[in-house]
Amino acid sequence: SYLTDGEKLRNTAFMVSLAAVGIYSAKTAAGIGGRFIEARLGKPSLVRETSRVTVSQMLKQPISSIQRLTGLGVQSQDALKGIVLEDTLDSQLRKIAVSTAHTKKNKAPFRHLLLHGPPGTGKTMFAKGLAHHSGLEFAILTGGDIAPLGRDAVTEIHKLFEWAKTSRKGLLLFVDEADAFLQSRETNKISEDQRNALNAFLYRTGT
């Protein structure tokens, strides 16, 4: 009978083991592939807006997404397009735009930039325009979204910068309402979780 036939039992055991290895390998490959896609095309939870192509955009608009990924048909635009400024400030920001574009072209280290002013003065618009003008991608997050994360904030910040590093073009990270997050570490008003998140942010930005 089948149960007493050693050869058949060995063959069955071999086939079952082979099937188990195949299933495990498929799951492992799917997991690795999923993490790769998430790292390349997924959007971290802290990012509110980005020019990078996401998985959903790839599925909804494949042609335009491919054009954005490859840079085909994408032209440089004026960094101050649609922004009306006082002449002196306009001149200063145009110099920054030219300097940033040259930094990208020569693959030199970028510098941090602080934009200060009341809401509605064009800070976010300039950040987007600066990225487009310089051939960079951009991502926008809000400082107020970090504190509510508690102890998970450190993990999310590291995820954000790991995702940014996968950009082929380079990525301009704009922190809106930064004062809600970037506080002095010496004050007693900041919680331990916020202090750890701030340390992680300063570490990743080389500040």
C-alpha distances in Å from residue 119, one per residue of 3, 90, 122, 143, 144: 79, 18, 8, 14, 15
Q: Would the CA dihedral through 101, 103, 109, 112 be positive or negative? A: negative
pTM over 0.85: no
Counting runs of H as helices and runs of E as strands, what totals does the chain give?
A: 7, 3
Give dist(CA 89, CA 21) in Å, integer.
64
pLDDT in the model for residue 30: 46
Give dist(CA 207, CA 136) in Å, integer: 21
**Whether pLDDT at 201 is above 60:** yes
Note the pLDDT of residue 179: 86
pLDDT digits (tens, 9 = 90+) for 120-154: 888 999 999 999 999 999 999 999 999 899 999 99
Residue carrying structure tokens 């790991």: 162
CA distances from 96 to 79, 80, 85 (A): 10, 11, 15
pLDDT value, residue 128: 92
